[in-house]
Amino acid sequence: MYKLIALDMDRTLLRDDKSLSEKTIHAVRKARERGIRVVIASGRPTKGIRNYLEALGLVSEEDYVISYNGALVQNVKTGEIISKNVLLGKDVHVIYELSKKLGLHIHAFSKEHGLITPRDNPYTQIESIVNGFPIKEMDFSKVSMDDEIIKMAIAEEEEILTNAIKCIPEELSQRYTMVRSMPRSLEILSPNSNKGRGVEALAKHLGIKREEVICVGDAENDMHMIEFAGLGVAMGNATDSLKRIADYVSKSNEEDGVAHVIEKFALK
């Protein structure tokens, strides 16, 4: 019997227009009624997930959320932190120099300053709108060395970013967790952070075994949790690489793929 279901949000739980279908809401709530833990595991900050948690009824003291691609795991109601892995200001300096060298835009989520970028740009504006964070422009070379940075991202048009990623020194790609959550964004996290680590930390906290976990996603940043899960599910609209490692391929996000998984494996 499955006891924990971890769901990616964008292009998995949500339709392309960022809405939740009634069928998906019903399936999630039925799973919760059965005593199954349902958790959102997203690259977004917790603030950018809150409205969806409320719509799904996942806001009690028994509910948890995995945000920033696994860097932060916390209780939805109390805010209790189960797991947290951050970067520091000194890492911002390193990635900022890389972004300048590659000609890419950059932004970061700072504990002290919020959503920061050295220069306003369309990609940071999208991050701001989607997650409800105001943008603060600041010189990244002046970010304090010990400021907690939960996530950074470098962004550009898809083809430009793809080519730029090939030029990232191996030393840096090994020093950090780098995941491509969207075609135009590469996220940089603590080496101990990914969605798989986040799900693992939560499962351990709840006393749930790996084989009792279902994880569902569509993109490269979901790969670690798909590999960790007892049942790793790729959406019908997932990348080919994710489909190859998944145990099961569901319907697309426009076809209620999450509801299909819950009904097939958790509610039968």
* Element holding 136 (H helix, E strand): strand 135-137
Q: What is the pLDDT of residue 5?
A: 99
CA–CA distances in Å: residue 38 to residues 13, 100, 203: 12, 40, 11
For the chain, which residues make up each domain, given as ranges?
4-84+193-266, 87-189
Provide the pLDDT for residue 67.
97
Residue 182 pLDDT = 86
Set 8, 10, 147, 222: catalytic member? 8
Q: What is the pLDDT of residue 268?
A: 83
Per-residue pLDDT, 199: 99
Between CA 236 and CA 189 the distance in angstroms is 27
Is pLDDT of 79 > 90? Answer: yes
CATH 3.40.50.300 fits 87-189, yes or no: no
Please give the pLDDT value at position 26: 98
Task: Please confirm, yes or no, whether 8 is among the known catalytic residues.
Answer: yes
Is the separation of the CB atoms in 49 and 40 below 8 Å? yes
**Fold: same for 4-84+193-266 and 87-189:** no
- Can you give the three-state secondary structure of 153-201, one letter per residue? EEECCHHHHHHHHCCCCHHHHHHCEEEEEECCEEEEECCCCCHHHHHHH
The 10s digit of each residue's pLDDT in 98-124 is: 999 999 999 999 988 999 999 999 999
* Banded model confidence at residue 181, pLDDT cuts 50, 70, 90: confident
Number of helices (H), then strands (E), in the chain: 10, 15
Phi-psi region of 69 (alpha: psi -120 to 50; beta: other; left: phi over 0): left
4-84+193-266 has which CATH code?
A: 3.40.50.1000
80-86's contacts with Cβ under 8 Å and 24+ in sequence apart are 82/201, 82/202, 82/205, 83/197, 83/198, 83/201, 83/202, 83/205, 85/189, 85/190, 85/192, 85/193, 85/197, 86/111, 86/148, 86/149, 86/150, 86/190
Torsion angle (degrees, nearest 10) of CA 140, 144, 146, 152: -20
pTM of the model: 0.94
User: For 251-268, what is the mean pLDDT?
Assistant: 97
Contact between 107 and 117 (Cβ < 8 Å): yes
For residue 45, give the nearest of 120, 97, 111 by alpha carbon.
Answer: 111
